[in-house]
């Protein structure tokens, strides 16, 4: 399906993935690559409306299967409108969350299980899988603290996207454990990065990993062999 390269960022809220995605986008653009940045949920006009419903703390009594269906409806729209056209155009697509998040948060956190999530992915996403996933996993307690501190700083008049951060610790522990399970199952695709490192150290690890993958994909020139001038 894809002629470009599809890279996703995953992790608990507060892991720093959005920051690292922006830094990677700047790094790749500096090398002359065409980069498309999007997010899940959201990334389209329709998707941003779905995002508001899903993440707003004032959304109450949303059934877990309804939540799952909304996540995939948003994703299908983003694939059709943003991701697939960019990949067909040869772009590097960087997406903040994708189906791994749904498997972790709805499959793990909501305890729907992986099977229903993966069936929905097959049905709604047309067989599209990331070429590479960067999974930022800071220590569990530190990551949860960051997420809740960020939510607490949000003033009432500001955009409220703290619905998931307000779930209890056991919910977030199930999400964390499911991410570990996904990484072990799909180790060919998922690269775990220690999110407790300094921001610049994480950035260097990510750029080294991504540059090598892009060289193998033919989107960046290969480095000369040692000793060759």
Task: Give dist(CA 52, CA 160) in Å, integer.
Answer: 8
Is residue 119 in a domain?
yes
Is residue 226 in a domain?
no
DSSP code, position 223: P
Range of the domain at 144: 5-216
Give the total number of structural domains in the chain: 1
**Which of 109, 105, 50, 104 is CA-nearest to residue 76?**
50
Is residue 109 in a domain?
yes
Is residue 35 in a domain?
yes
| Tens digit of each residue's pLDDT, the chain (229 residues) | 458 999 999 999 888 899 999 999 999 999 999 999 999 999 999 999 999 999 998 999 999 999 999 999 999 999 999 999 999 999 999 999 999 999 999 999 999 999 999 999 999 999 899 999 999 998 788 777 776 666 555 444 456 788 998 899 999 999 999 999 999 999 999 999 998 899 999 999 999 999 999 999 999 988 776 554 5
Is residue 205 in a domain?
yes
| Long-range CB contacts for residues 144-148, cutoff 8 Å, separation at least 24 | 144/12, 144/14, 144/169, 144/172, 145/14, 146/13, 146/14, 146/15, 146/16, 147/12, 147/13, 147/14, 148/14
Is residue 208 in a domain?
yes
Element spanning 133, H or E: strand 132-137
Residue 133 φ/ψ, nearest 5 degrees: -125, 125
CATH number for position 47: 3.40.50.300
Is residue 74 in a domain?
yes
Q: What are 100's two structure tokens? A: 């791994």
Is residue 184 in a domain?
yes
3-state secondary structure of 69: helix
């Amino acid at each position: 399906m894809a002629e470009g390269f599809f890279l996703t960022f995953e992790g608990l809220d507060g892991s720093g993935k959005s920051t690292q995605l922006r830094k990677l986008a700047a790094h790749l653009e500096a090398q002359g690559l065409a980069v498309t940045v999007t997010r899940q949920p959201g990334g389209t006009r329709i998707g941003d409306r779905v995002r508001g419903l899903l993440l707003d703390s004032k959304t109450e009594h949303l059934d877990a299967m309804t939540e799952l269906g909304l996540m995939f409806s948003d994703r299908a729209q983003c694939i059709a409108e943003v991701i697939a056209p960019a990949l067909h155009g040869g772009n590097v697509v960087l997406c903040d969350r994708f189906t791994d998040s749904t498997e972790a948060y709805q499959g793990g956190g909501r305890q729907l299980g992986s099977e229903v999530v993966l069936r929905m992915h097959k049905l709604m996403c047309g067989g599209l899988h990331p070429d590479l996933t960067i999974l930022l996993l800071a220590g569990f307690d530190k990551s949860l603290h960051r997420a809740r501190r960020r939510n607490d700083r949000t003033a009432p008049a500001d955009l409220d996207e703290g619905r998931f951060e307000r779930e209890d610790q056991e919910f977030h522990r199930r999400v964390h454990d499911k991410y570990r399970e996904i990484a072990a199952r799909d180790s060919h695709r998922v690269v775990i990065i220690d999110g407790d490192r300094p921001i610049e150290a994480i950035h260097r690890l990510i750029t080294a990993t991504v540059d090598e993958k892009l060289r193998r994909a033919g989107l960046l020139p290969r480095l000369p062999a040692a000793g060759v001038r």
